[in-house]
Amino acid sequence: MKFHPKRDPAWRLRRMHDQLLRAYGPQHWWPAKTRFEVILGAYLTQNTAWKAVERSLANLRAAGALTVNGMRKVPLPQLQRLIQPSGFYTRKAPALKAFVSMLDNEFGGSLAKLAAAPTVVLRRRLLDLPGVGPETADAILLYALGHPVPVGDEYLRRIEERHALLKPEPGRTKISYDELTELTRRSFAGDREENRAQLYNEFHALTVAVGKAHCGRTPRCENCPLADDLKGGF
């Protein structure tokens, strides 16, 4: 059977990136001023809206705890109060403290040394920390530390399922995280390696943009930049 590129899920997902970029323009993510602020945001945004994270970050900034040194010094009960707007503060506060302890004990308190570790080793170490799942680990790797790893989230899952790019494995109701990110890797495999971190960055941000506008729990397909894909376009 002859291969048709437009039927290939990876080809289609790469075209979706291009269409979203034309529709929305560069997103300039992550919304933070420092590496450490990105890391804090990646923890705090779990199971909550970004507006709530912004309130927590503002509290941390006012308390002088938006740096590694500030996070070291702030007592755990106070940290819990500061990040309370983000929810799950009794779990997230100890997780943030555990990250700083790992940074101090294994990387001399240096985010630059952390970033210099090999991606595979660093990802495994992040996943060993409390409160860090695959999405949080990959967001830290990509946005804070500059490693070329794709990030998968619920918006990307909805897009891939609704556009029939992937189907859940037998016995599963959802596409796995690894399946989501592997398709993204395949989609950008033809791009220059040195460009992939930026491409993964933009792609994730763009899928969040279209997800918020059109691909929520209830799809709103009218005027969606990706509607033509469902019609076999692009």
How confident is the model at residue 169, as a pLDDT?
78
Q: Write the CATH number for 165.
A: 1.10.1670
How confident is the model at residue 31, as a pLDDT?
84
DSSP string, 135-158: HHHHHIIIIIT--------HHHHH
How confident is the model at residue 73, as a pLDDT?
97
Please list the alpha-helical segments (H only) found in the chain. Answer: 9-24, 35-44, 50-62, 68-73, 76-82, 89-107, 111-115, 119-127, 134-139, 154-162, 177-187, 196-214, 227-230
Please list the alpha-helical segments (H only) found in 163-226. Answer: 177-187, 196-214
Is the whole-model pTM more than 0.75? yes
* Pair (18, 54) in one structural domain: no
Domain boundary among 144, 174, 190: 144
How confident is the model at residue 217, as a pLDDT?
92
How confident is the model at residue 1, as a pLDDT?
38
* Pair (72, 106) in one structural domain: yes
**What are the structure tokens assigned to 184, written together?**
């993204």
* Pair (180, 195) in one structural domain: yes
Domain boundary among 106, 126, 144: 144
**Torsion sign, CA atoms 203, 207, 208, 213:** positive
* Pair (135, 155) in one structural domain: no
* Pair (59, 156) in one structural domain: no
How confident is the model at residue 91, as a pLDDT?
98
Instruction: Cis check for the bond before 30: say yes or no (omega within 30 of 0).
Output: yes
CA distance 184 to 177: 11
How confident is the model at residue 2, as a pLDDT?
41
Q: How many distinct structural domains can be found in the chain?
A: 2
**Which residues of the chain carry a pLDDT beneath 70?**
1-6, 233-234
* Pair (179, 132) in one structural domain: no
* Pair (72, 94) in one structural domain: yes
Domain boundary among 144, 171, 189: 144
How confident is the model at residue 234, as a pLDDT?
57
How confident is the model at residue 5, as a pLDDT?
55
* Pair (123, 209) in one structural domain: no
* Pair (42, 130) in one structural domain: yes
Q: Which domain holds residue 14?
A: 5-28+151-230
How confident is the model at residue 167, as a pLDDT?
85
Q: Write the CATH number for 113.
A: 1.10.340.30
Looking at the DSSP assignment, which residues form a beta bridge with residue 219?
A: 215
* Pair (22, 43) in one structural domain: no
* Pair (41, 11) in one structural domain: no
* Pair (55, 128) in one structural domain: yes
Using DSSP's 3-state secondary structure scheme, residue 57 falls into helix
